[in-house]
């Protein structure tokens, strides 16, 4: 399941992130990569323990808390604080799969990476190349979104970032551990949630069909959730 989440950040929030990142130190992105990914990765990142990363990460986490589409798609139990990367001309990231287990900074615990998210901080017209190409059961998708928009997809997916040929592509990226470990079950719940939203647009909330569908959603969530 690949989901395009629109307007996670407002234009003002995107501009604030850009200003703070512009004045920050960028380091080789391979510092956060595993052995396999390090051979495929060529980009820059903001150090994850920097004050800017924590500040902007908190801003994004607050935005995710108010995003119904993100929460419906990911059903997050834990969200790793966002990281920030940058691809300049000639940079890219060859095909890879994200690591399964991540350490939560400052918490002393590990989390399973079920869902990957990339939040774009650069408008598509400002660079060429840089498409996020995701391969999974839904086929191969090439993703290049407006600044402030985000793509959510299974962390099990093979994916890559095409080399930049003009300009620079900046983004935030992070992983979530979902309450629903199984991707198939998570997709069913997301589709059911969208169906309920559509029915509610045509019927009243106390209509028996709405009540039955909503009850089914929550009972499936109760059956499958791991907390």
Structure tokens at 194: 């969208």
pLDDT mean over 83-92: 97
Residue by residue, DSSP assigns 170-210 as EEEEEEEEES---HHHHHHHHHHHHHHHHHHTTS-TTSHHH
At residue 63 the predicted structure's pLDDT band, cuts being 50, 70 and 90, is very high
Q: Helices (DSSP H) in the chain: which residue ranges?
A: 11-22, 35-40, 51-65, 68-74, 183-200, 208-224
185 with 193: CB under 8 angstroms? no
What structural domains and CATH numbers belong to the chain? 3-178 (2.60.120.620), 183-224 (4.10.860)
The 10s digit of each residue's pLDDT in 128-164 is: 999 999 999 889 999 999 999 999 999 999 999 999 9
CA dist 26 to 109, 121, 134, 143, Å?
27, 16, 26, 24
**Six-digit token string for 45:** 């990142």
DSSP assignment string, 146-176: -TT-EEEEETTSEEEEPPEEEE-EEEEEEEE
What's the predicted TM-score (pTM) here?
0.94
> In angstroms, how far is the first alpha carbon of the chain from the final one?
22
175 bridge partner residues: 116
Q: What is the pLDDT of residue 164?
A: 98
Tokens of 91: 């940079």
* Whether the Cβ atoms of residue 110 and residue 104 lie closer than 8 Å to each other: yes
Length of the chain: 227
pLDDT given at position 40 = 84
């Amino acid at each position: 399941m690949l989901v395009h989440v629109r307007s996670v950040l407002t234009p003002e929030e995107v501009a604030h992130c850009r200003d703070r990142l512009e004045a920050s130190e960028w380091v080789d992105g391979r510092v956060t990569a595993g052995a396999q990914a390090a051979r495929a990765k060529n980009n820059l990142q903001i150090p994850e323990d920097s004050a800017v990363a924590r500040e902007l990460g908190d801003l994004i986490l607050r935005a995710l808390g108010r995003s119904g589409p993100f929460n419906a798609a990911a059903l997050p139990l834990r969200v790793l604080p966002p990281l920030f990367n940058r691809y300049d001309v000639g940079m890219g990231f060859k095909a890879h799969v994200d690591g399964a287990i991540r350490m939560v900074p400052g918490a002393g615990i590990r989390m399973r990476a079920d869902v990957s998210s990339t939040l774009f901080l650069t408008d598509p017209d400002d660079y060429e190349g840089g498409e996020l190409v995701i391969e999974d059961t839904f086929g191969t998708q090439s993703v290049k979104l407006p600044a402030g928009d985000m793509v959510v997809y299974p962390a099990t997916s093979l994916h890559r970032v095409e080399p930049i040929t003009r300009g620079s592509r900046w983004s935030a990226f992070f992983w979530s551990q979902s309450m629903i470990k199984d991707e198939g079950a998570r997709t069913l719940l997301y589709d059911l949630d969208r169906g309920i939203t559509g029915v509610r647009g045509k019927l009243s909330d106390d209509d028996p069909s709405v009540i039955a569908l909503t009850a089914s959603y929550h009972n499936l969530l109760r059956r499958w959730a791991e907390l």
